[in-house]
Chains A and B, each alone.
Chain A
Amino acid sequence: DIQLTQSPSFLSASVGDRVTVTCRASQGVSTYLAWYQQKPGKAPKLLIYAASTLQSGVPSRFSGSGSGTEFTLTISSLQPEDFANYYCQQLYDYPYTFGQGTKLEI
């Protein structure tokens, strides 16, 4: 199975900050990497697919990059609604594993 390791697991930041979350895969996944945002009690919401493509309707302050085994999610200027949990997921090979998550706190 392909393991995904996110770092950091917890991130404390302020409104207006630029933050980056990293996702490392145990083997290459090409660009079959997606990022999701999840708020308490809600289903995950897709932010980025194909490693760097912004999903329709997602604010442009979110961006993704990487290929192979190392990927990043960047939020250029944190807004109050961005404080949530973030997960990466590989869809290169079954099982479609998720990273352990990053909790972004104020």
Chain B
Amino acid sequence: EVHLVESGGGLVKPGGSLRLSCAAAGFNFSTSSMHWVRQAPGMGLEWVSSISSSSTFLYYGDSVKGRFTVSRDNAKNSLYLQMNSLRAEDTAVYYCTRLYNWNGGDAFVIWGQGAMVTVSS
């Protein structure tokens, strides 16, 4: 079965750090572009970061650039998001997702269940 499972969420104080993990199964993880998307409570979806299959290309949203680092371990079928200098506005559910490519368009088909990150003193 194809699935993604996030872990590592929790409560952290402002300025603190947290590392999210995403375990993949049921598809060829090592050839997949992987992404993080977040959703603050009661708000819309926000794309956070992406990493290419071989970790060559890394991209970040402006709101997390310089504070978050995406990485992966293809041998372990795992995706990571290291979050440093956390702020209250980083409070959100964080989803990992796989990018599918088609002729004329791409999209996120597989999503994890989400990991809640709360930044509060």
Contacts and interface: CB of A to CB of B under 8 A. Distances in A.
Interface of A: 1, 30-34, 36, 38, 43-46, 49-51, 53, 55, 87, 89, 91, 94-101
A98 B48 CA distance: 11
Contacts of A32: 104-106
The 8 lowest CB-CB distance pairs between A and B, nearest first, are: A50-B105, A49-B107, A43-B111, A34-B107, A91-B106, A50-B104, A101-B44, A96-B47
A95 B59 contact: yes
Nearest to A102: B44
Interface core residue of A1, A36, A43, A50 (most chain B CB under 10 Å): A43
Interface of B: 35, 37, 44-47, 50, 59-62, 95, 99-100, 102-109, 111-114
Contact of B108 (A30, A31, A33, A46): A46
Contact of A49 (B37, B59, B62, B106): B106
Given A87-B45, A95-B47, A43 B105 contact: no
A94 B50 CA distance: 9
B105 A97 contact: no
Interface core residue of A45, A46, A51, A95 (most chain B CB under 10 Å): A95
Contacts of B44: 87, 98-101
A104 B107 CA distance: 22
Contacts of B111: 43-45
Interface core residue of B100, B108, B114 (most chain A CB under 10 Å): B108
A1 B62 contact: yes
B61 A95 contact: yes
B47 to A, nearest CB: 4
Contacts of A99: 44
B96 to A, nearest CB: 10
A44 B108 contact: yes
Given A1-B62, A96-B50, A43 B103 contact: no
Contacts of A43: 95, 111-114
Contact of B109 (A1, A31, A53, A55): A55
